[in-house]
Amino acid sequence: MLIARWQFTQSSASLSKLQIRTPEVFAPLLEPARYKGAHGGRGSGKSHFFAELGVEDALRLPGEIGEGMRMACIREVQKSLKQSAKRLFEDKLQKFGLGEAQGFKVFNEVIQTPKDGLITFTGMQDHTADSVKSMEGFHRAFVEEAQSLSERSLMMLRPTIRAEGKDLRGGDWQSELWFSWNPARATDAVDRMLRGPNVPTGATVVHANWNNNPWFPKVLEQERLDCLENEPEKYGHIWDGDYARVWEGAYFAKHLTTAEQEGRIGFIGADPLMGTFAFWDIGSSSQKSDATSIWIGQIIGEEIRVLDYYEAVGQPLAAHVNWLRSAGYGDATCILPHDGKKHDTVYAVTVEGALRESGFEVQTVPNQGRGAAMQRVEACRRMFSRIRFNREKTEGGREALGWYHEKRDEVRNIGLGPNHDWASHAADAFGLMCVWVATRHSAADKWGAPLRRNLAGVSW
C-alpha cells in the first residue's frame, strides 16, 4: 500500500504542488522523532525514502522555522563523493522537477537548499572531536550503511546534532538523526542503540524489506531468486535484513545453513541418562587475554547434541567453574586442549589440576602438532551432519562459527590458514569437540576388531 503526501512549494510562476508517494512501511517515520531508523535487506527502498524525506524537509522547514534546512549525510568511511548519497539526492531533485527556481542548487561537494540551507556529505572517520563541531546547528543527520558506524562516531554524532527551538507558530521543533542499515551483528553500535534493550526516548524504528517496496525492480527480483537458489546461506542477511550468520569465506557457512534447513537447530534438552561433556578453549585470567570458550554437549549414539555455549574474557577459573555449576553442568566431564596442563599467566595453577580439585573429571587432548587448526576445521566438516544445536543457548557460539574464516594474502591470492580473531576461540573449542568425538569413536571401533594372537600375548 502507498501513502500519498503533499508538500507545497512556491515556484516563480505560481504555487505548485509536489506529491510524494511513500510505501506504507515507512509511514511511522513521517511523524517527528528525535531518532528515525529503517533496517532491512536489499531493495527495500530505505535510502530512497530518507532522500525524499530530506527533500521534503528542505522545502518545509523554511516556512515552519524561518530558516533553511542544514543536513549532514554521513557514512563511517567516505573516500569520495561517489560513495556518498549525493547522487541519490540529485536524482530526487530531478525526479520532482526541483531546481534553482525552487531554491536548490547543486555544487561539486554540497547541495544548496531553500533559504540558504545546505546538504553536506561526509565520512565520520575523518572527523575529530573538534572538527565534528562543524555540524552543530544542523537540523538533520542521515547516516547511510549505519551498520558500519563505529561506537566512537556515534558517540560524537549524537550530542553534536542538537539544534532545537520554536517554530513560527510558537510550537517546539528539534533536530533529528536518521539511520538506514542492513544489520550485520547485534553488537554493532547502531543496533545496540536502536534495537537493543534501552532504545532512546523519541526513537521510531521500522523493518523494511524488498516485499515492502511496491517499485521493487524486476532485475533485482531475479538477483533475489538467484541468491536464494545459489547462496541460500547469505539470503536471509542480504534480502530479509537478518543478522549475518555466515560470512564470505567462512569455513562452516554452508554447514550451518544446511543444519538450519534440516531442522537441526531448535530446542534440544539434555538427556539425564547420558553423560555431559564440556569442551574448552582456554584463555587466561589476564584482562588482555584471549577468551575462554566452552561448548556443552552430549553424545547420543552417532549424534552430537550441543546444548549450550559460554564465553568470557579475563575471568579467573573460578568464574568458569561457577558457570558450569550454576547452569547445571556440575557433573560434566571437562575436555581440555593440550594447554590444559599449562600454568595460568596470573595464577600459578594448571586448568587441568584446578578442575580436578574442583571435583570435575578431566581429559586433556594431546597436542595435534603442526596444522592443528586445519585439522580441527576438517574434523568439524566431517562431523557437522551429525550435530544438533539448541537454538537459544548456542546463538553466540553459532555466530562465531559463522564468522570463522580463512585469512588471505590479497596480493598473492593465497590462503594463510584460519584467521585468529574474536571467533577463533569458539571455533577452536568446537573443533576440539569434533576431534575428541572422532577419536572416541575410532577407539570404540577398535574394541570391535578381531583379536590377533602371537607368542608374546594378545595384541590388536
Q: Residue 434 is placed in which grid cell?
A: 569434533
CA distance 305 to 170: 65
Q: Who has greater pLDDT, 350 or 426?
A: 426
Computed over every residue of the chain, the mean pLDDT equals 87
Mean pLDDT, residues 261-288 = 88
Quickly state the pLDDT bin for 286 (edges 50, 70, 90): low
Under a CB-based contact definition with an 8 Å cutoff, are residues 41 and 130 in contact?
no
CA distance 147 to 105: 31
Quickly state the pLDDT bin for 1 (edges 50, 70, 90): low
Please give the angle made by the CA atoms of 105, 107 and 108, to the nearest 5 degrees. 160
CATH class of the domain whose range is 265-446: alpha beta
CA distance 195 to 187: 10
pTM over 0.75: no
| 315 C-beta neighbours (distance < 10 Å), count | 18
DSSP-assigned beta bridge partners for residue 73: 121, 142
Is residue 129's pLDDT more than 80? no
CA distance 459 to 226: 57
Mean pLDDT, residues 429-451 = 71
Q: Who has greater pLDDT, 348 or 280?
A: 280
On whether the 25-212 domain is CATH 3.40.50.300, my answer is yes
Quickly state the pLDDT bin for 436 (edges 50, 70, 90): very high
Task: Supply the DSSP symbol for 100.
Answer: G
Task: Supply the DSSP symbol for 450.
Answer: P
Lowest mean pLDDT across 44-48, 79-83, 330-334: 79-83
Under a CB-based contact definition with an 8 Å cutoff, are residues 242 and 236 in contact?
yes
Q: How far is residue 122 CA from its own chain's centroid?
A: 24
Under a CB-based contact definition with an 8 Å cutoff, are residues 147 and 191 in contact?
yes
Domain spans in the chain, listed from the N-terminal domain onward: 25-212, 265-446
Q: Which residues contact 421 (CB under 8 A, 6 or more apart)?
A: 403
Give the CA-trace dihedral at 366, 371, 375, 381, to 10 degrees: 150
Q: How far is residue 442 CA from its own chain's centroid?
A: 38
Q: Which residues contact 262 (CB under 8 A, 6 or more apart)?
A: none
Quickly state the pLDDT bin for 234 (edges 50, 70, 90): confident
Give the CA-trace dihedral at 369, 372, 378, 381, to 10 degrees: 130
- Measured N-to-C along each axis, helices 372-383 and 424-447 cross at an angle, to the nearest 10 degrees, of 70
